[in-house]
Amino acid sequence: PDDDDDDDDDDDDDDDDDDDDDDDALRGYGGGGAAAAAPGALPFAIVRGGSRGFRSRAPLLHAGAAPTAEVSAEQLEEIYAGIAAQRPAQDAAYEAYVAGLDEEYKASLVSRAKDLGLEVDFATGHISYAKDFVAPSPSFDLVYTRHGKTTGNTEPRVYQGYVDEPKNALNAIGLGQAEEAADKLEALGLRPDLVVLSPLARAADTGRAYVRRVPGLEAATEEWEVAAEQRFGAWDNARVMDLPAQSICHLFYLDANACVKSDKPYIAPDGTEIEGECFVEAVLRAKELLDALEARVAALERPEDAGRPLVLVYGHSMAGAALSILTGNGKVVEGAGHLGFDGPYIMPNATPVFLVKG
């Protein structure tokens, strides 16, 4: 879930860059043939530079997950299998959850999503592209980069959303990935007109690894609250293995349920209470981000012959998935009509991705 991981879990001892993975990177980050592009989707590609493309994995245990002193990989696999086996109880809990939601709230989410060309089905919890979906046409090119690796997205993984505690900071691997992402952008010779950073340290630090290399770019760099990660409420920074097996939280990653959210807030170390949001609400917030970027770019002072503006955004897995869907780069779950956003649909760590390219 959340910033929960990808193929980078084995990066401690595996830095190989095989050709097959690199080819997958050119096609997009939904590897393994498990997804299809949205109707009317704009073409995009992961910036090439020796990084591996996203590799599909089983949703319950990351490939190469290292055991900890507290729990082994074998024990984790058993725990996650036990959670998956509770699917009937999770579905029953979700049915009760939906029945208890305010009808006006549900109708509002469905209506607002429809305005974006998206369909939300509360009965299943799924979000899909409507047949008449048309990707927006921003006036700028947009490159999105998810943050580097953290302790929080290493097994045993946690819901890592709107949290900024020490375990959510870039670890040694993540710091190295941030520099590698900067290498890729630097090699392309890009000159961004605007760099927007999530205010959460793991994303901001990933972005600043590149910003500090480019003279004068700091002046064009801003931190925006709207670019932050999805808020998971009381699930935030809780280990997946420790949450009740019957909880609806597990439907988020087991069934791409875009409607579930915690009914209790996350309590930050300073006592601040942060309410949760479902993935649909994260997509609606991504629309706010896109609109804000359009307004900010329009206000930039640029030479008339400067060409198409370029914006870099440094963020997160779910925030990135939401923006990918909104820009027409969402991935449809194989054999189903709804969109995936966790597991094999997450952007790889610290890999620049063109979401909009004119």
For residue 95, the SS3 value is helix
Query: Could you give the C-alpha distances from 150 to 6, 19, 57, 316, in angstroms and in order?
Result: 12, 26, 19, 12
Report whether 267 contacts 273 (CB < 8 A).
yes
Closest CA to 191 of 310, 351, 354, 355: 310
* Contact call for residues 328 and 133 (beta carbons, < 8 A): yes
Q: Which contiguous run of DSSP H or E holds residue 355?
A: strand 353-356
Q: Which residue has the tokens 């959340």?
A: 2
Residue 8 burial (CB < 10 Å; 0-12/13-18/19+)?
buried
Tokens of 215: 């003279």
d(CA 159, CA 56): 20
* Helix residue ranges, H only, 69-219: 73-85, 87-99, 103-114, 172-188, 201-211
Length of the chain: 358
Catalytic residue check, 62: no
| Residue carrying the six token digits 């696999």 | 77
**Of 147, 250, 316, 338, which is the active-site residue?**
147
Kindly name the residue from 229, 277, 281, 316 that is annotated as catalytic. Answer: 229
**Strand pairing of 35-37 and 339-340?**
unpaired
Contact 162, 230 (CB under 8 A): yes
147 tagged catalytic: yes
Tokens 């609806």 correspond to: 248
| DSSP SS3 for 159 | strand
Residues annotated as catalytic (active site), given as ranges: 147, 229
